[in-house]
């Protein structure tokens, strides 16, 4: 449905997007996730048609909507937008906001569509209210209804939940996902909050410094990060130094792990075997470490953070390296205490040092 | 229009200056913005040329006979008014913003009411009341046999009246500052062991200083610009000297020379004001949204607070307004005739045309800045709105000189007779635009600021662009700002005295001019009739201001 091919953009001499490519299938919800200044909002504005790109091409429904020298005007793209600040028209009622993009419809159809939309977002009773009379979450849903009303081919959401309370954010992101899935809307969301991305999106592109670092499902991003940035940015974890034994095994101080070896290690000598003794950093997530009182492997509790159902312990290994582990909260250990741990790593993720 | 409708990047956005980044618009906004800035820039440049190239002969004369008195009078005026408005403004602001005492709710807004009274109206009321032949002196003589009263026609009298008329500027800004900071910081100071009154001096007052300074500078600029009050009192300052040089001594060069000196003083205050204003935004950024916990005054201190608020309110507003009403009712039977229809019509016409022009130009300037938000454009807008700092007398001279020059060129070129532009409404309207553009622009700029970039883009993504976006989004969203700008500039022009007096076509009287003429003859009762109309009209924007400031804080 939506395809970006080698899209590039720069402001003056400063490149903000370099060679961004990805594809979104019809009905899929995608997400661009990254720290502020990574270029994700620029990508969104290019797709919306508010900026012209410097290189590459954007296709929507098989049609080129943007390439250098050609830019289909935003108002002709049939791309709906939900803005971070909602951008509701303050002088118009909720119903008038929703009907704003429907002026081409006959009155009866328009009214039907307004009601349909307001029912969908659960605001049928607020039709005659004005934006300032609504709560943040309600305004957000009006913005969604307004964007969906003209049946856009694609819906773009710019940090749609960042102005809401944390609890509301989670509830609403699931609600919005249900609505989008119910209507089979193709949507692209931009956010810096990975919980939001994971709750909403089928597929997530992690961005940094103007480039997509990895385009994958949330599960893959977490367990098989393509590079150090993604490994760092997504989830928690630490890197432990390790040494490659052969093309399948890495040794760290907690034992020998089976898994993939970084390709740049394998390439260093031109053959797989030469990767031997290549120094790597191995990603260890908190859920890779299991607390086991019977284990011979011991680590000292250095810090602990109570999280209700579990503790997040920071452990100190005899070598001085630190580990994070999540432990059910009935295992309440004192700081300084030594506890037994064992490794339970499913996917070995290692990067050359 | 090119094939793509570009959303102007100028539109306020949360992203840092997106100025040059989106493609530039096909047309530049300069042809629209530059002429507007010239309306203010030309008079300023004309007068600066006089300051830099003084005419030796005139300068010598002024230096010997005129300037010493003017400088001393002005210095005392600025000092006295400065101290007075600060005392009144800050004390009342603190009482109504941070304390609680009987009547506080009423005084919080009522103390703004004197803004509706032009200083020259307050001036002639007090002069009429306290003069030798006035009712107060007469009553004292008859009842108590007192023959001596502190002379109101004195330096102290001018200062007192001007303080009563101008303290609301400081009151307004200081109060906003006190309210903005909330009780947190004084509470923090108390928790660190400072008694409450010292917490006020060590924390609240320093934090409110930028706000107080901004209000104080505005009040001082007004006192320098004032023409009506000082002429009622026969107190010679630069403004009256400019007027006399031009209209009694018929020396426009001398008037220009004096104006150029005055402009210099005014700009010092204007710069201080804008510095204070820019600091104020930092101070305000620490505001907390909670409702202030007021200091409840008890016993004697509560009564003192009530007394102080009441005295100021009565002297600055209740007595003047009551007296004007009383006098106006006394004379309207014999005085209200067809001439008044003419005065009122002239006032209405001028204020209406002027306000429309001001708002039109402010709108153009606002859009120019929105479409092209470059630093030079912002500077241009700043220059165009600098006129609020220029005293009316100065502007009148500064505009008249180039117009007279233009007239002479036209006369030479086409062999015409007499004045062509000089002495027409055009000169007055140009001067009003220069003086009051800031009033309209401030309101419109704020209105345009509320139409964020995302609002524009939302409309565009829903297929609404160009003229339809203007009528469906911009105009409805700007409506309140436009009406505000219209009302404010209408009233300001109606109250305006020196520009009207000095640049009107011959014999073309307005209500304000009528007030001036009656007061210069000491006909207080007859001056009250036109003054009452001005005051009633002036109450409208004051009401609006009160509604807004009170709304923001309750």
Q: Which residues of B touch A147 (CB under 8 A)?
A: 461-462
Q: Which residues of B touch A85 (CB under 8 A)?
A: 14, 452, 454
Helix axis angle, B511-520 to B475-495, nearest 10°: 20
Q: Does A22 touch chain B (CB under 8 A)?
A: no
Mean pLDDT (whole number) for A178-193 = 92
Of residues B474, B368, B267, B296, the one with CA closest to residue B36: B368
Q: Would the CA dihedral through A116, A119, A121, A124 be positive or negative?
A: positive
Residue A168 has pLDDT above 50, yes or no: yes
Instruction: For residue B23, give the DSSP letter.
Output: P
pLDDT reported for residue B288: 44
Residue A76 has pLDDT above 70, yes or no: yes
Better-scored residue on pLDDT, B550 or B402: B402
CA distance B23 to chain A (A): 8
| Contact assignment for A50 to B22 by CB distance below 8 Å | yes
Query: E strand or H helix at A169, and its extent?
Result: helix A166-182
pLDDT reported for residue B286: 44
Cβ-contact A157, A40 below 8 angstroms: no
Direct distance between the N- and C-terminal alpha carbons of chain B, in angstroms, rounded to an integer: 47
| Contact assignment for B4 to A12 by CB distance below 8 Å | no
Cβ-contact B502, B246 below 8 angstroms: yes
Interval A115-139: pLDDT, tens: 999 998 999 999 999 998 999 889 9
Interval B115-125: pLDDT, tens: 889 999 999 99
Q: What are phi and psi of B495, to 5 degrees?
A: -75, -20
Of A74, A84, A103, the CB nearest to B460: A74
Residue B245 has pLDDT above 60, yes or no: yes
Q: Which of A63-72, A203-212, A250-259 has the lowest mean pLDDT?
A: A250-259
Can you give the pTM of this predicted structure? 0.78
Of A12, A75, A101, the CB nearest to B20: A12
| Contact assignment for B461 to A73 by CB distance below 8 Å | no
Best of A42, A65, A85 to mutate (most B CBs within 10 Å, chain B)? A85
Q: What SS3 class is residue A260?
A: coil
Cβ-contact B40, B358 below 8 angstroms: no
CA distance A206 to chain B (A): 21
Taking the C-alpha atoms of residue B324 and residue A119, their distance in angstroms, rounded to an integer, is 61
pLDDT reported for residue B2: 36
Query: E strand or H helix at A19, and its extent?
Result: strand A14-24
Question: Using 50, 70 and 90 to split pLDDT, how confident is the model at A12?
Answer: confident
Taking the C-alpha atoms of residue B514 and residue B526, their distance in angstroms, rounded to an integer, is 9
Mean pLDDT of chain A: 88
| Contact assignment for B463 to A51 by CB distance below 8 Å | no
Taking the C-alpha atoms of residue B460 and residue A48, their distance in angstroms, rounded to an integer, is 10
Better-scored residue on pLDDT, B24 or B463: B463
Nearest CA in chain A to B479: A91
Residue B12 has pLDDT above 60, yes or no: no
Helix axis angle, B392-414 to B30-52, nearest 10°: 100
pLDDT reported for residue B9: 39
CA A308 to chain centre: 25
Taking the C-alpha atoms of residue A190 and residue A157, their distance in angstroms, rounded to an integer, is 6
| Contact assignment for B462 to A101 by CB distance below 8 Å | yes
| Contact assignment for B458 to A87 by CB distance below 8 Å | yes
Interval B291-315: pLDDT, tens: 556 778 888 999 999 999 999 999 9
Domain ranges of chain B: 24-37+67-549
Mean pLDDT (whole number) for A306-319 = 89
B→A interface, C-beta within 8 Å: 3-5, 7, 14-15, 20-23, 450, 452, 454-455, 457-465, 472-473, 476-477, 479
Residue B220, sorted as left (phi over 0), alpha (psi -120 to 50) or beta, turns out to be: alpha
| Contact assignment for B458 to A75 by CB distance below 8 Å | no
Residue B488 has pLDDT above 70, yes or no: yes
CA distance B442 to chain A (A): 21
In total, the C-beta contacts within 8 angstroms joining chain A to chain B are 86
Mean pLDDT (whole number) for B138-164 = 84
Cβ-contact A288, A343 below 8 angstroms: yes
Mark which residues 87-146 of A lie under 8 Å from B by CB.
87-92, 100-101, 103-104, 146
CA distance A66 to chain B (A): 11
CATH of B24-37+67-549, one of 3.30.43.10, 2.70.70.10, 1.10.3720.10, 3.30.2320.50: 1.10.3720.10
Cβ-contact A352, A282 below 8 angstroms: no
Residue B230 has pLDDT above 90, yes or no: yes
Q: Please name the residue that has the structure tokens 């935003």.
A: A74
Better-scored residue on pLDDT, A185 or A247: A185
Residue A53 tokens read as: 């790109």
Interval B405-439: pLDDT, tens: 888 888 888 877 766 777 788 889 999 999 999 88
Give, in degrees to the nearest 5, the angle at Cα A223 between A217 and A229. 85
Of A11, A75, A150, the CB nearest to B460: A75
| Contact assignment for B461 to A52 by CB distance below 8 Å | no
Taking the C-alpha atoms of residue A122 and residue A104, their distance in angstroms, rounded to an integer, is 25
Q: Which of A347-351, B133-137, B399-403 has the lowest mean pLDDT?
A: B133-137
């Amino acid at each position: 449905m939506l395809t970006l091919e080698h899209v590039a953009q720069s402001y003056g001499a400063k490149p903000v997007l370099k060679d961004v490519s990805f594809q979104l299938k019809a009905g899929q919800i995608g997400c661009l996730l990254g720290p502020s200044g990574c270029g994700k909002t620029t990508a969104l504005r290019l797709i919306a048609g508010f900026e012209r790109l410097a290189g590459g091409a954007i296709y929507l429904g098989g049609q080129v909507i943007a390439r250098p020298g050609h830019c289909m005007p935003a108002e002709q793209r049939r791309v709906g937008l939900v803005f971070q600040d909602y951008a509701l028209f303050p002088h118009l009622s909720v119903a008038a906001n929703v009907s704003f993009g429907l002026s081409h419809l006959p009155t009866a159809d328009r009214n039907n569509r307004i009601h349909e939309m307001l029912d969908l977002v659960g605001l049928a009773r607020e039709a005659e209210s004005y934006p300032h009379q609504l709560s943040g979450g309600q305004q957000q849903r009006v913005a969604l209804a307004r964007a969906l009303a003209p049946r856009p081919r694609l819906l773009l959401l710019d940090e749609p939940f960042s102005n809401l309370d944390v609890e509301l954010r989670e509830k609403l992101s699931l609600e919005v996902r249900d609505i989008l899935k119910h209507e089979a809307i193709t949507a692209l969301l931009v956010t810096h909050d990975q919980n939001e991305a994971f709750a909403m999106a089928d597929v997530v592109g992690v961005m940094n410094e103007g480039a997509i670092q990895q385009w994958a499902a949330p599960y893959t991003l977490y367990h098989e990060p393509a590079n150090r940035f993604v490994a760092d940015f997504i989830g928690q974890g630490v890197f432990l130094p390790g040494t490659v034994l052969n093309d399948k095994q890495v040794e760290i101080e907690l034992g020998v792990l089976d898994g993939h070896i970084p390709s740049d290690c394998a390439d260093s000598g031109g053959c797989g075997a030469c990767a031997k003794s290549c120094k790597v950093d191995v990603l260890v997530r908190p859920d890779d470490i299991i607390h086991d009182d019977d284990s011979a492997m011991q680590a000292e509790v250095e810090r602990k953070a109570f999280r209700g159902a579990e503790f997040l312990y920071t452990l100190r290994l005899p070598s001085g390296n630190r580990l994070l582990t999540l432990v059910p909260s009935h295992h309440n250990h004192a700081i300084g205490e030594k506890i037994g741990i064992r490794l339970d790593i499913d996917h070995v993720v290692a990067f050359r040092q | 229009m090119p094939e793509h409708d570009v959303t102007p990047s100028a539109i306020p956005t949360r992203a840092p200056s997106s100025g040059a980044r989106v493609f530039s618009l096909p047309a530049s906004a300069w042809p629209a913005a530059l002429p507007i800035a010239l309306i203010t820039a030309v008079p300023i440049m004309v007068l600066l040329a006089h300051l830099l190239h003084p005419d030796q002969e005139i300068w010598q004369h002024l230096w010997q006979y005129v300037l010493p008195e003017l400088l001393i009078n002005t210095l005392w005026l600025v000092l006295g008014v400065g101290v007075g408005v600060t005392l009144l403004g800050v004390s009342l602001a603190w009482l109504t913003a941070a304390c609680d005492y009987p009547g506080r709710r009423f005084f919080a807004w009522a103390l703004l009411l004197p803004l509706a009274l032009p200083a020259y109206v307050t001036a002639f009321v007090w002069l009429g009341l306290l003069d030798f032949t006035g009712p107060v002196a007469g009553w004292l003589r008859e009842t108590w046999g007192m023959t001596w009263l502190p002379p109101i026609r004195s330096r102290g009298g001018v200062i007192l009246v001007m303080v009563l008329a101008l303290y609301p500027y400081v009151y307004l800004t200081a109060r906003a500052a006190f309210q903005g900071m909330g009780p947190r910081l004084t509470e923090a100071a108390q928790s660190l062991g400072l008694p409450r009154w010292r917490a006020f001096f060590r924390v609240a007052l320093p934090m409110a200083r930028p706000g107080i300074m901004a209000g104080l500078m505005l009040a001082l600029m007004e006192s320098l610009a004032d023409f009506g009050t000082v002429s009622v009192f026969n107190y010679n300052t630069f403004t009256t000297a400019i007027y006399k040089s031009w209209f009694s001594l018929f020396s426009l060069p001398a008037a220009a020379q004096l104006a150029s000196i005055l402009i210099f003083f005014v700009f010092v205050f204007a710069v201080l004001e804008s510095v204070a204003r820019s600091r104020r935004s930092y101070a305000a950024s620490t505001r907390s949204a909670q409702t202030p916990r007021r200091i409840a005054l008890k016993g004697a201190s509560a009564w003192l607070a009530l007394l102080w608020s009441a005295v100021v309110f009565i002297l600055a507003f209740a007595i003047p307004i009551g007296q004007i009403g009383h006098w106006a009712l006394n004379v309207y039977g014999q005085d209200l005739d067809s001439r008044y229809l003419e005065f009122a019509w002239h006032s209405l016409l001028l204020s209406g045309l002027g306000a429309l022009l001001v708002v039109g130009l402010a709108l153009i300037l606002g859009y120019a800045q929105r479409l092209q938000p470059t630093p030079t454009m912002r500077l241009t807008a700043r220059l165009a709105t600098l006129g609020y700092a220029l005293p009316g007398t100065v502007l009148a001279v500064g505009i008249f000189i180039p117009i007279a020059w233009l007239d002479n060129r036209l006369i030479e070129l086409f062999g015409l007779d007499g004045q062509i532009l000089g002495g027409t409404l055009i000169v007055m309207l140009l001067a009003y635009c220069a003086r009051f553009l800031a009033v309209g622009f401030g309101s419109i700029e704020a209105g345009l600021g509320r139409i964020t970039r995302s609002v524009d883009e939302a409309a565009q993504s829903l297929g609404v662009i160009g003229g339809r976006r203007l009528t469906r989004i911009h105009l409805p969203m700007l409506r309140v700002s436009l009406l505000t700008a219209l009302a404010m500039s209408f009233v300001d022009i109606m109250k305006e005295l020196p520009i009207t007096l000095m640049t009107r076509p011959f014999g073309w009287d307005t209500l304000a001019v009528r007030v001036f003429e009656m007061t210069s003859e000491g006909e207080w009762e007859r001056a009250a009739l036109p003054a009452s109309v001005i005051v009633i009209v002036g109450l409208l924007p004051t009401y609006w201001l009160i509604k807004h400031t009170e709304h923001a804080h309750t």
